[in-house]
Amino acid sequence: MVGGGSVLVGVAIYGQHLYNAWKPRKVGVYGTSMVGKTTLDRYMTTPGEMEEIAEDERTEHFKLITRYMLPKPTRKRISWQGEKRVVYSADIGGQERFWNLWIDDMVARQVECVMYVFDDRAFAGGPEGAEQVAGFKYLVDRLIQRDYRYRTLRSRWKGKKYTPRMLMLVANKADRFFDKKAAELWQQNRIGEHKIFDPFRDDLIRLQKARLPTKRAFMATRVGWNVEPTLVELLTS
């Protein structure tokens, strides 16, 4: 009887592993301009050495009459230490005129996991940093107030009950700020206490009160550091 139970447990674990490896996951990657979203999209598609993306190569979207068109999501396959995940995500611009597309993308695709990407400029201050903080607040406001703009009757019907399962706040370009303190917090699994997240704490608290789970992570997409582990953690959550 004990042996049979062990077999059943083993079969269940193996079945869960296959489920995680092959079930497509809908991920929304959002954030303001030049924080590394496009680099992340390209890295997930083909891991390797990434080149810097010039400012004049920022993601743009075609405008049809009065509405910007949503890009189609593409399939990526993530692997890390034997764990595999299938991800569908789209590369959406970070300029303020495109922020509404983040919400449109979430609702239209029923995104399960949201990644908001920022970099060290958010902590340093200045107009670019303020924009990163404002972009996150915009996203949080829409999620909490359920202030969605629907593109079709179908998305309106689906959006009435929509809430993502998880939101991860990703501090990108960690190669620029990963100091001794960050290393200590990393080893102790306490990176959420790092000062890089300070500008976003009020909105993180608002999400917790609204019962929307959040996580925080470090990443350096251009050099491919901690990309796969972060994605596997997010999609396992």
Structural domain includes residue 104: yes
pLDDT in tens, 11-21: 444 455 555 56
Kindly tell me if the per-residue pLDDT of 136 is higher than 80: yes
Section 219-232 average pLDDT: 95
Structural domain includes residue 163: yes
pLDDT of residue 62: 86
Closest of 147, 159, 151 to residue 64, by C-alpha? 151
Structural domain includes residue 18: no
Q: What is the pTM of this model?
A: 0.89
Between 98 and 157, name the one with better pLDDT: 98
Structural domain includes residue 170: yes
Kindly tell me if the per-residue pLDDT of 155 is higher than 70: no
Structural domain includes residue 11: no
Percent of the chain having pLDDT more than 90? 71
pLDDT of residue 126: 92
Specify the CATH number for the domain of residue 51: 3.40.50.300
pLDDT in tens, 59-111: 988 888 888 899 999 999 999 999 999 999 999 999 999 999 999 999 999 99
DSSP secondary structure string, the chain? -HHHHHHHHHHHHHHHHHHHHHSEEEEEEE-STTSSHHHHHHHHHS-S--PPPPGGG-----EETTEEPPPPPEEEEEEETTEEEEEEE-----SGGGHHHHHHHHHHHT-SEEEEEE-THHHH-HHHHHHHHHHHHHHHHHHHHT----SSHHHHHHHTT---SEEEEEE--GGGT--HHHHHHHHTT-GGGSGGGGGGHHHHHHHHHTT--EEEEE-BTTTTBSHHHHHHHHHH-
Structural domain includes residue 9: no
Structural domain includes residue 178: yes
Section 129-153 average pLDDT: 89
Number of domains the chain contains: 1
Q: Which domain holds residue 193?
A: 24-236
